[in-house]
Amino acid sequence: MINVSELKTACERIEREYGSDSKVVIQMRNENGSLMKGEYLRDMFRNAEGTLFLTNHKFKHGSCE
């Protein structure tokens, strides 16, 4: 698991090198590292504990309902 600070640092580096319009892809891999699925990030939200969720599904009201 990565934390918000690590994600922020990675995004800032990509933004500096490739620009702020760079795309984000979510990859799901199984235990042996084989790709199960990969899709573009479509939305994000946080829960009451502050955990950030990145998802391939666009929610209408900015949160998972």
SS3 55: strand
Is the pTM value of this prediction over 0.85? no
Q: Show Cβ contacts of residue 4 under 8 Å, excluding neighbours closer than 6 positions.
A: 52
**Which amino acid is located at 12 in the chain?**
E
Report the Cα–Cα distance between both ends of the chain, in Å, rounded.
Answer: 24
Q: Sign of dihedral through CA atoms 54, 60, 47, 5?
A: positive
Give pLDDT tens digits for 28-58. Answer: 999 999 999 999 999 888 889 988 888 888 8
Give Cα separations from 55 to 28, 58, 63 (angstroms). 11, 8, 11
